[in-house]
């Protein structure tokens, strides 16, 4: 039983790193980042702080929002989001260092890198949802809103993601004077990552599940 739990946490950490790597690749594609990292990326450009540091600050904000929305309904184990947020923040900055040498030349190469980043993120998300450990802080907010509005998660997520992208676009124009981090890649990421997860789930669901049975 204990080994199953250890397996679950190891795979969860691996999933966080894979998601962070995909997010970093989307930044290097320079065609607009996914909704997950769009707002932190723009805030990073504005403040000159690393993307990881900004993500951790948002982690704290997201947890406060969840507590405000759910009150006593906020599960104590969800405080682990603070730890998860810190780890994910570190992974993002580490991933950006790893992919720093990648500088695609030409739109086609940028577009191919963007598509690959979506595939990487989708695979990481597949592993994350399989482990069922704890929500990523951004997802935790969506879950909290879903509970308050009594709506399904998939119905609320597009509205929250769209709001994040709009805020990022406004902030970039106001503080940077141009549109940063929000381009066609942002829309493409929002549209295809979910379907890719479903396709990967079809082929990798059973193999990943077996890892928890050992």
**Longest alpha-carbon distance in the chain:** 55
Q: Among positive and negative, which fits the CA dihedral 76, 91, 140, 57?
A: positive
pLDDT value, residue 208 = 66
Residue ranges in the chain whose pLDDT is less than 70: 1-4, 208-214
Burial code (b: 16+ CB inside 10 Å, e: under 16) for 97-109 equals: eeeeeeebeeeee
The pair of structure tokens assigned to 181 is: 């981090």
pLDDT value, residue 23 = 92
Domain ranges of the chain: 2-213
Indicate the helix (H) or strand (E) that contains 199.
Answer: helix 184-213
pLDDT value, residue 104 = 93
The pair of structure tokens assigned to 8 is: 């679950």
Neighbour-count burial of 79, counting CB atoms closer than 10 A to its CB (0-12 exposed, 13-18 middle, 19+ buried): middle
pLDDT value, residue 18 = 94
The pair of structure tokens assigned to 35 is: 């909704």
pLDDT value, residue 43 = 95
pLDDT per residue over 91-100, tens digit each? 999 999 999 9
């Amino acid at each position: 039983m204990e080994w199953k739990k250890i397996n679950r946490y190891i795979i969860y950490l691996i999933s966080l790193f894979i998601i962070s790597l995909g997010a970093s690749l989307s930044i290097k594609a320079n065609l607009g980042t996914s909704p997950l990292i769009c707002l932190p990326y723009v805030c990073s450009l504005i403040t000159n702080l690393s993307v990881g540091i900004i993500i951790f600050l948002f982690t704290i904000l997201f947890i406060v929002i969840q507590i405000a929305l759910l009150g006593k309904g906020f599960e104590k184990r969800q405080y682990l989001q603070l730890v998860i947020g810190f780890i994910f923040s570190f992974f993002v900055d580490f991933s950006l260092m790893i992919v720093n040498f990648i500088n695609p030349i030409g739109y086609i190469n940028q577009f191919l890198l963007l598509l690959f980043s979506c595939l990487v993120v989708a695979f990481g998300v597949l592993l994350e949802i399989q482990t069922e450990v704890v929500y990523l802080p951004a997802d935790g907010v969506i879950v909290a809103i879903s509970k308050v509005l009594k709506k399904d998660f998939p119905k609320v997520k597009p509205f929250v993601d769209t709001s994040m992208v709009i805020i990022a676009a406004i902030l970039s124009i106001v503080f940077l004077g141009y549109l940063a981090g929000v381009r066609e890649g942002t829309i493409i990421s929002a549209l295809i990552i979910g379907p890719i997860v479903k396709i990967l789930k079809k082929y990798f669901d059973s193999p990943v599940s077996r890892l928890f049975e050992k």
